[in-house]
Amino acid sequence: MRVAALYDIHGNAPALEAVLDELPSEDVDVVLVGGDVLPGPMPEETLGMLRGLPSARFVMGNGDRQTVAAYDSPPAAPSQPVTDPVERAASWAAGRLSTEGRDFLAAFEATVTLDIEGLGPTLFCHGSPRSDEEIITSITSNDRLRPMLSGVRESTVVCGHTHRQFEHRLDERMVLNAGAVGMPYEGDAAAFWLLLGPDASFRRTEYDVSRALSLFRGNGLPDLDELLRESLVEPADPDEVQRIFESRAA
């Protein structure tokens, strides 16, 4: 089995389309979508492409979970304005979902295990095997990582959530971050994903980022430039982003 792992799409339909256009030449058996399909600027367009995939599995990300929760419990007029850009983005995306879109997101799984050629049983999660919000980066210490993998039988674990590709070895286990299709912290504006079987190959797909940003700015997503500044607008130093993530985890 060969698997394309697409993580952290965040409603970036042009980036997703570019990656999906590459897959027919890669002889992929399964597309594994690893969470945080939403929130983002083109929610229904993104879900429409994913719902049409013939062989796909879906892992729940914290963003997907928050978007479903916002759909199920739309806020009344708050006494205090919502200041968190991510929370506002989830509410905005939820308001643009159909019932079918909401139900599609809500059916995502906590983790998925697939038996991959050359790698064997491989566990796919969003943050860590025990939490869709737990942070693993390229500089996570073994002491902090080991408890997250406690009880995991698979020798390969694929995660996302921190939006940067890396490989981390711990004892006999390999932890891979697939990177982010829609909102990468790689110091470069492109779509990043992972091809698995018989080995692990980090991939990068070009698309017209300027055109995508123009489309997004016409959609009305609040705080768009703030949300995408460090990934697509003015890509930040990826090492600095990793240090910020680690400080949050601590």
For 3-249, CATH number?
Answer: 3.60.21.10
pLDDT tens column, 19-67: 999 999 999 999 999 999 999 999 999 999 999 899 999 999 999 999 9
Question: Which pLDDT belongs to residue 81?
Answer: 64
Q: Where are the domains of the chain?
A: 3-249
**Confidence grade of residue 168 (pLDDT, cut at 50, 70, 90):** very high
pLDDT tens column, 92-111: 999 999 999 999 999 999 99
Angle between helices 85-94 and 62-72 (to 10 degrees): 60
**Confidence grade of residue 77 (pLDDT, cut at 50, 70, 90):** low
Distance, in Å, from the CA atom of 247 to the CA atom of 250, rounded to the nearest integer, reads 5
